A and B are shown apart, each in its own frame.
Chain A
Amino acid sequence: MSPIRTRAALLAPAMVILLFAAAGPLVIVLIYSFLTPGDYGGVIWDFSTDAWFGVLAERDFFTEELSWADAHLMVFWRSIKLSLMTAFLSLIIGFPTAYFIATRPRGSRDVWMLLIMIPFWTNLLIRTFAIMELIRNEGTINTVLIAMGLVTQPVQMLYTEFSLLVGMTYVYLPLMILPIYASMERIDFSLVEAGYDLYATRWQVLRRVIFPLVKPGVVAGSILVFVPCLGAYVTPRVLGGGKQLMLGNLIELQFGQLRNWPLGAALSLTLLVIVMVALIFYVRAAGNEESAHG
């Protein structure tokens, strides 16, 4: 086979999967978002922009008056806010963890990484229910707090944004630790010594030497946490209890109970756009700072 044909053959399986599993469904979603909802789910093949209209606005049923779709905006805002907070919290927790592991002797690093990865390999539902068991009103934390006499009433943690933040941070933390650890492990430790030698304090070494060198890992980790958080479904479903909807739950609602497939499709594509915009913005920001450093 010619080199070009060999390359094509190597690429073919991935292309087939992308075509049928990503590009194809995406086109279908795009088409559905411009159709009319059927009475019992599904779509009627009548062109309509109502769904896209409905993403941001709503029309009063009787007066036909237009207003912002506050409920949707609320969910957008909550999704973006919680995803950013989760990424930030994961960074705060993940960075020192990665540093700790990367500075262990070579042999024990793999053990530490395994400990980080084991929860990640456990079923998502099980992990989420474990968190629920910890923070629900009759759960471990509240039981201990009450037994110690610190509170008289159980502290409401479940079904709040707090519970979503805790749950998603717990679930996605390994995705932050892994890339930071990977770039941290490659650092030549004599660079750190050189920093100390040249009068940099611990904090300055961290900020001026270590952080710039692991920044690619931090960027990758932040993206890996932020993006799945935006579309998270299971965690907000279990820990938000239908009260704290996120984008994923809102979309599910349209395809399920509300039987508005076109709106669901439009919301899905909106999510995709938000992710893309966020990524472009983030990568640009990270890149600019890089070139400013020279």
Chain B
Amino acid sequence: MEETLATLVAFPLAGILRDNEEYHKAAQVHTKTLTKLSSDAKWASQAPQLIEQLDPATHSLSYLYVLQTLKSTNGYPLDDLLLKLTTFFTSFDARQIRYGGKAFAKLLAQPRLQDLFPASIAVELITTALLRLDPTGSVLTSYHTDLVRFAYMTNNIEPVLLIIEKSIVFYPGMKGSTNTRLLSDLELPPSGFITVENDFTKPLDNKEILEHDLLRGLCFIQRRSWQQAFDALERVITFPSRDNTNASKIMVEAYSKWVLVGLLLSGKAPVLPPTTPTGSRKVHDIMGKPYYSLAQAFEKRTAESFKAEYEGLSQTFWDEEKNVSLLKLVIEHYQKWQILNLRHVYSKISLEQIRTRTQSGETAAPLGTVQEIETLVKGMINEGILQGEVVHPESGGPAYLAFSSGADDLTEEEFTRRMVATAQRIKALGPVVRATNERLTSNKDYLKWLAQQKKQEQHGQSQGGGAGGDVTGFGEVEDEDLMTGIVAG
């Protein structure tokens, strides 16, 4: 037992492992030892004592193996186990865990944490664990999909927000991600170690990716974060396809929600982004027609055609579509958008004028009284949709709505803050771009492309530099070529 413990705490020895290579070798040796030890008969019985001697933050890899044994054997008190799991997931050293993918996967999934902990804690714990492993949150794993689905189904969206707000730009199974760099390299992009080979994820298919983004969209809808929901759904409907493949059912479903969310977000029918593949575009045009006509009617000045559009669709249609509550919101927002649009035209407008100029989406008629308008407008102000105030003049004239002037203008600080934030986010993409660049330059198609480029230059048809293959030059022709090269490969 003493001996085992000594082995367990032997890695990582502080101060000795100076560079990545030494660390890598030591870690690999240690993992082997751990695998051997854990198959030993005495191991399981010693585990409860061993775990007390280990610090999850410093001896994360050893701790992981011991904890995994405790989790898979019966007899260890559940309360203790849950406590240990919680401390481990919130404090482990990500660099060490890169070597323990298999055990880590088991710890997460066998049995699933969702079945051990109350739902809200499980969601929070998995989120923390995944983000500790990959703070950039840029790689999609099979756990992501499970986690988001679970969070949405159990309505624990708050704790999962941290992870679904990140932009996923890497997917497991990318060609050329077999890395020349060591796992221990702290500069190693997350796509370098979160791989199927390292057991951090199962292979994914496109259905799961689509589902993941759709679920993210649904979570944001639940939170009424329309912009984020819109972006997430847009990822689904513009998902790249090869050879004009039709859109999948998930995409069709996402399209309908995307249109409705677009109406809530901007009061206008959204336009399909140019990146939408032709095949999907056709399907959206046909399958999404009822939604699109509804959206177009939403833009009209009077509510009649809007009402006719949604009433024209049968109850069964809506029952099947499962968008009823979203539609209800859209109907409710019809008049709100009419009022909001008045801000472009009026600085002050009497409530009576608002009443006659706008109609309720539900009845397609103006509201009955000025009181109702006032309640509606005040509601909008409280929700923060509308910047302005309802004024009752002391002289006793009719009440009116005064739109705040310059509500759209930013203060100097606000502008700086937002600009800096965007700049930082773009800067943060640097490593991702480097990783992609590295991956692409190590691809054999890149060589092919380079040779081709050389040839063209010799023929005097250079398209302007480009031999560097720098991926940061977005929007240049070379990049498109680069992508087609991969598609062809």
> Do the two chains belong together in a single complex?
no
